[in-house]
Structure 1
Amino acid sequence: MLTFLALSMIIVFIVLLSKNKLSVFAALTIVPFVFGAIATFVTGASFLDLFEWIKEGILFSVNEETGKVSMGVISPAIVILFAVLYFGIMLNVGLFDPLCEFFIKRAKGDPLKVTMATVLTSTVVTLNGDTTTTIIICVAAFLHLYKQMKIKLIYLAVIIVTPIGIFNQLPWGGPTIAAATAMDVSISELFADLLPGMLVAEVFAIFMAYFIGMKERKRLNFDPKTAKDISPKQMETMLDAIRLKDPELKRPKLFVFNLILTLAILVMLVMDIAHGGVLFGIGAAVALTVNYKSASLINERLDDLAADALAPALATLAAGVFSGILTGSGMSTALATSITAIIPESLGANMAPIYALIAAPAITFLPQDAFYFGIAGVMSDVMAQYGISASEAAVASMVGQAFRLISPVIPALYMLVDSTETNFVDFQIKYVIYAWPIILIYLAVYTITGALPI
């Protein structure tokens, strides 16, 4: 019954979002609350337990046996709140203007050069292993450029997340750590097995960005052969769209200060010196004070930026309601058990690649820990009976990471689709259309290297 509830909740959530019947915030809050209330009757739990599940999803939970504290979405929510505020300030003062102007001059109206710059930038930034930070930085750097050149914003979202989905499998990435821990394998050993597939997938990500750029060239009637014919006046018109946007808020004389402040925050973030929310919060306060000085002007800027910062933060907290109820009610465990039962034991040694394909939807719709410590941990023991090692089982469990970056339980994605003015389900569909070969790449490469038995 809990499995049915879990599947129903996910389906209703997707349908309501795709048909724009509910906002992201409402869908993430109301849908799981209704199904969570039903789950209390099914399981015999107290209705008040529903609020405890939500609290654990948003704030934290404590394992009564081990005493381990697991954080909810409050941490990424705070990062998103202050990071969006900080980069909003930096956009206003003109920190990214030189970068946008550089790309406009170099691109000369060429969408292909812009999409290639996007995928390479996302690849470099995502090496820090943090999805939220990568999305925030790439959106801040490229959003206005895409709007100026009239490139479809949904492509910006797809191109940004593709390298993230690949490189979150680095040794310091959450999925790799979870998989290695759940199946008791060495992180370095697991990463060595994953690296060939990641590298080939990155080549595909670059090719995908190239393909999208060529497609946008055609749609926008851009001919590189005539690019040199763009007159100085046309170029100045494009550049003025950047230079003349809110000129009263720009602070060109403080460019060096703002650049050093931003780089310092990012370096400390990568070095894990302090929590991202703390760094961006302090950075926002310093940036406002130095750039605008007057208390009334600072308050005015905060009022203007509040909407941009609040919306994704609220969606992130609402995602905690979704994941908290899914986990606390037992629906995630039931779904994990049911998915495990789908795979026939008679498949024997061929179970690994089939399991990898079947598990992909679970990786997409379940919280990360619920998948790895639920499904993956159980399947590792099952596959061991057929001579499949824990390391090979771990590799199989990572194949579905090809689709992890369209998961409704990843908070930063709601900020991404909000910034790119995209419906969440439309984003999911577009990503699958363009990025589906990655899962085949993983299967093929891991089979060739022997990391995945067939």
Structure 2
Amino acid sequence: MLSLIGFLTILAIVLLLISGRISPIVGLVLVPIIGAIIAGFSVGELGTFFEEGIGSVMEVVIMFVFAILFFGVMQDAGLFDPMIKKMVAVSGGNVISVAVGTVIVAAIAHLDGSGASTFLITLPALLPLYKRLNMSPYLLLLLVGTSASIMNMAPWGGPIGRTASVLNMDPTDLWRPLIPLQIVGMVLLMGMAVILAIREKKRIARFQLVASSSEVAAATEAPPVIDGGQNNTNSKNSSLLRPNLIWLNLGLTLGVIGVLVWGVIPAGFVFMIGLSIALPLNYPQVNDQMNRIKAHAPSALLMAAIIMAAGSFLGILNGTGMLEAMSEDLVKIIPSFVLPYLHLIIGLLGVPFSLLLSTDAFYFALFPIIEQITTDFGITSITTAHTMIIGNIIGTFISPFAPALWLALGLTGLEMGRHIRYSLFWMWGFSVVLLMAAFLMGIVPFS
């Protein structure tokens, strides 16, 4: 009975999240409560489960809040602007240079872990260049989304934070082994950008041979730029910029990241200290400091609320015994020879799963079950986590459940269906290659 209620609880959450009928917070809080009550648990017991669940995610919540605020202040001060402008200028009018430059620009823009800000920074800056060269804007979206996905392995990115909250561990401990893979991933992505750029050059040349310039313009996939989106992006308040402090801000940011990698103090405390230095350094007036906090508080609060709701969800599933019961029953159903490799199968299918499950559903509903099963076969929780993260994270910005992707489509005037058709093969293939690289590097042992 516990197993059945657990499966129905997770299925209900997944279906509700997919349908968009409820927010992740509502689903993660209310549905498990209903399931637990049906299973016969008292309100008092639910309170105990809640406290245990919330206690397990508080470190992650603190890290997310202060990381978002810190990188938001760095972005306001204009830390990333010169690097992005320089890359756009260097790429010039060469199709291959533009494609490789897109990867680098997107990686820099995604240092704050926000998909929305990444698209707001990169797309209006690069789309006119793509249009001028008759390059497909779908290629732009593919490269920006994949580059941002690799950078999203950072501990202040959503997938690592969600997984760490499930495992009740420090996100930086989960991230540290992935740092070499991020570097390799960026190199591989630049290689893929070159291949795609060569293909793009052939496509452009083919059109130029068979059509007049007006017909070429009509045949390219580039739509007109939406003025509203571009104006919104360029309307960044110049009074917030601190060009004279760029080197101090860069040193502070590198210092924060260095301490994170070192792991000597908790991630939340690192970002708390970093923010406390960044605010008076860039904005000496108290009112300006509070305004910067208020400007980025919605993003920080939203992520914190989702993680805490997930803590409640996991606390109830663990406390009631539903998670253990589901794992035991799945072991009985799935052929025994498959079970030790279940995490690998899910990892290899990670990108298609992003079309079926939201990030919350994948990491808060599917991952705990897979982790519970594979642990019984001697697979460490870290191995299962890394496998599923690497396999799924590349599909972050192909998923229709990613709000930032809809913003990107609005900024460029592109269609979701065409983006999926254009990008799915390359993103899925890249995730499989990245997973193989993780095997070779020993990050994800085969057995």
Q: Equivalent of 1:93, from 59, 64, 77?
A: 77
Q: Equivalent of 1:357, from 342, 345, 350?
A: 345
The Cα offsets for residues 304-332 of structure 1, whole Å up to 9 and x where unpaired, read as 22222212221222221222222222221
Partner of 1:185: none
Aligned: 1:106 with 2:102: no
Could you say if the C-alpha distance between residues 36 and 304 of structure 1 is closer, same or farther in structure 2, counting changes exceeding 3 Å? Answer: same
The Cα offsets for residues 129-184 of structure 1, whole Å up to 9 and x where unpaired, read as xxxxx7728886675113533567975455433576799xxxxx999xx99xxxxx
Partner of 2:67: 83
Partner of 2:330: 339
C-alpha RMSD of the superposition: 5.5
Secondary structure of 2:73's aligned partner:
helix
Once the two structures are aligned, what percentage of the paired residues are identical? Answer: 24
Distance 1:445 1:259 in 2: 30
Aligned: 1:145 with 2:145: no
Aligned: 1:329 with 2:320: yes
Partner of 1:23: 23
Distance 1:199 1:282 in 2: 27
Distance 1:396 1:287 in 2: 37
Aligned: 1:376 with 2:374: yes
Partner of 2:7: 7
The Cα offsets for residues 308-364 of structure 1, whole Å up to 9 and x where unpaired, read as 22122212222212222222222211221122112345x5xx875578537989985
Aligned pairs for 1:124-135 (under 5 A) are none
Shift of 1:98: 0.9
Shift of 1:265: 1.0
Query: Does the Cα contact within 8 Å between 1:166 and 1:401 map onto a contact in 2?
Result: no
Secondary structure of 1:48's aligned partner:
helix
Name the aligned partner's letter for residue 295 of structure 2.
Answer: D
Query: Does the Cα contact within 8 Å between 1:327 and 1:370 map onto a contact in 2?
Result: no
Q: How many residue pairs were aligned?
A: 372
Name the aligned partner's letter for residue 70 of structure 2.
Answer: Y
Could you say if the C-alpha distance between residues 357 and 262 of structure 1 is closer, same or farther in structure 2, counting changes exceeding 3 Å? Answer: closer
Partner of 1:385: none
Shift of 1:31: 2.5
Could you say if the C-alpha distance between residues 300 and 351 of structure 1 is closer, same or farther in structure 2, counting changes exceeding 3 Å? Answer: closer
Could you say if the C-alpha distance between residues 261 and 27 of structure 1 is closer, same or farther in structure 2, counting changes exceeding 3 Å? Answer: same
Distance 2:274 2:115 in 1: 18
Query: Does the Cα contact within 8 Å between 1:6 and 1:331 map onto a contact in 2?
Result: yes
The Cα offsets for residues 97-118 of structure 1, whole Å up to 9 and x where unpaired, read as 1121122223448663355326
Name the aligned partner's letter for residue 256 of structure 1.
Answer: W
Could you say if the C-alpha distance between residues 147 and 334 of structure 1 is closer, same or farther in structure 2, counting changes exceeding 3 Å? Answer: farther
Q: Equivalent of 2:279, from 255, 280, 288?
A: 288
Distance 1:220 1:286 in 2: 50
Name the aligned partner's letter for residue 104 of structure 2.
Answer: A
Distance 1:166 1:277 in 2: 14
Aligned: 1:309 with 2:297: no
Partner of 1:259: 250
Distance 1:281 1:198 in 2: 25
Query: Does the Cα contact within 8 Å between 1:112 and 1:210 map onto a contact in 2?
Result: yes
Query: Does the Cα contact within 8 Å between 1:402 and 1:436 map onto a contact in 2?
Result: no
Query: Does the Cα contact within 8 Å between 2:150 and 2:394 map onto a contact in 1?
Result: no
Shift of 1:302: 2.1
The Cα offsets for residues 32-61 of structure 1, whole Å up to 9 and x where unpaired, read as 33223323x1xxx333211222222221xx
| 5+ long unaligned stretches in structure 1 | 60-71, 126-133, 168-172, 180-190, 227-238, 381-389, 409-413
| 5+ long unaligned stretches in structure 2 | 128-136, 156-160, 168-176, 214-229, 354-360, 409-415
TM-score by length of 1: 0.62
Distance 1:37 1:147 in 2: 50
Distance 1:24 1:174 in 2: 13
Distance 2:308 2:341 in 1: 35
Could you say if the C-alpha distance between residues 25 and 331 of structure 1 is closer, same or farther in structure 2, counting changes exceeding 3 Å? Answer: same
Shift of 1:417: 4.4
Partner of 2:149: 161
Secondary structure of 1:379's aligned partner:
coil
Partner of 1:63: none
